[in-house]
């Protein structure tokens, strides 16, 4: 690793060799020069997580470099206290451009819907609501009739099972998140959620099959694929209507019936 040049570079502009001295780096990391020297030489005990974090800050490491440093030291990389709420601008443009052809939704690591395109909005209707947890998929699944109007009985059971298991996985990633703790407390008063929660099932379902009722075209057979942005912990779900579905939407450029959706994307 190469030490950074320091704030503004002025502190070291007179030096022939760029970067911080051992003394300066140790001072920034709040460790002794002797200990840092022993670390460099491989003679020190394995550094603690606090020391690793301090070194990562001192070297101005990127998230990927910081995680690599932790793994080299035999430690799990640190996890954020909550997922990012901001969707990448490039991702928003992508789901906008694919809007006429593919329904796409984006939810974060808390299972809050953070973006969807107009095709998805037309297919699913109002998947979000008001209140503190109105954007949360799990909360909506257990408290709103919206999904009972979209899915058949098997699909509803699958949704409740998967949503509960993924919520438990989210809690494992963000165990101290007040939002998740409050959400679970709110849902636990509901017997159906409490029963499923007590099963202790945990997991992710990257691919799935659903039968979705379109408001105008009836039942559609839909495959879903989920893509993960690990840096922001965002999950992008793409919905593909099976070609044999009798009432499948006509793809762009087709002649049979109006095209569903437009290129307008929505950030919630």
All domains of the chain in start order, with CATH: 7-72 (1.10.260.40), 89-267 (3.30.450.180)
pLDDT at 259: 32
- Whole-Å CA distances, 63 to 8, 86, 88, 110, 179: 22, 17, 16, 21, 24
The model's pTM: 0.71
Task: List, for the chain, all residue ranges whose pLDDT scores fall below the cut of 50.
Answer: 7-13, 15-17, 251-268
Residue among 132, 130, 128, 133 at smallest CA distance from 116: 128
pLDDT at 17: 44
H or E element at residue 265: strand 265-267
pLDDT at 154: 92
**What's the rounded Cα separation, in Å, for the pair 237 and 223?**
10
pLDDT at 262: 34
Take residue 52 and report the two structure tokens written for it.
């690793």
Q: What is the pLDDT of residues 134-181, one digit of tens each?
A: 999 999 999 998 888 899 999 999 999 999 999 999 999 999 999 999
Residue among 241, 233, 236, 235 at smallest CA distance from 261: 241
pLDDT at 124: 83
- Start-to-end CA span in the chain (Å): 40
Kindly report the backbone phi and psi dihedral angles of residue 136, in degrees, each rounded to the nearest multiple of 5, phi listed first.
Answer: -85, 125
pLDDT at 10: 41
């Amino acid at each position: 690793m190469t030490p950074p040049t320091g704030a503004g570079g002025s502190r070291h502009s007179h030096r022939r060799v760029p970067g911080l001295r051992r003394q300066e780096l140790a001072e920034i990391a709040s460790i002794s020069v002797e200990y840092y020297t022993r670390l460099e030489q491989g003679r020190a005990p394995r550094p603690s997580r606090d020391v690793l974090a301090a070194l990562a800050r001192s070297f101005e490491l990127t998230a990927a470099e910081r995680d690599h440093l932790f793994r080299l030291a035999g430690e799990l990389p640190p996890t954020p206290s909550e997922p990012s709420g901001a969707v990448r601008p490039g991702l928003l443009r992508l789901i906008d451009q694919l809007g006429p052809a593919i329904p796409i939704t984006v939810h974060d690591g808390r299972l809050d819907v953070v973006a969807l395109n107009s095709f998805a909005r037309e297919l699913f209707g109002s998947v979000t609501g008001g209140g503190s947890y109105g954007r949360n998929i799990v909360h909506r699944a257990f408290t709103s009739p919206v999904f009972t109007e979209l899915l058949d009985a098997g699909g509803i059971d699958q949704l409740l099972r998967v949503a509960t298991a993924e919520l438990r996985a989210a809690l494992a990633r963000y165990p101290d998140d007040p939002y998740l703790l409050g959400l679970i407390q709110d849902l636990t008063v509901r017997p159906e959620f409490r029963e499923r929660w007590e099963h202790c099932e945990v997991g992710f379902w990257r691919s799935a099959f659903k039968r979705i009722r379109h408001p105008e075209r009836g039942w559609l057979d839909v495959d879903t694929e989920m893509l993960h942005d690990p840096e922001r912990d965002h999950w992008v779900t793409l919905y593909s209507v099976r070609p044999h579905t009798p009432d499948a939407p006509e793809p762009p450029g087709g002649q049979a019936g109006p095209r569903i959706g437009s290129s307008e994307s929505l950030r919630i």
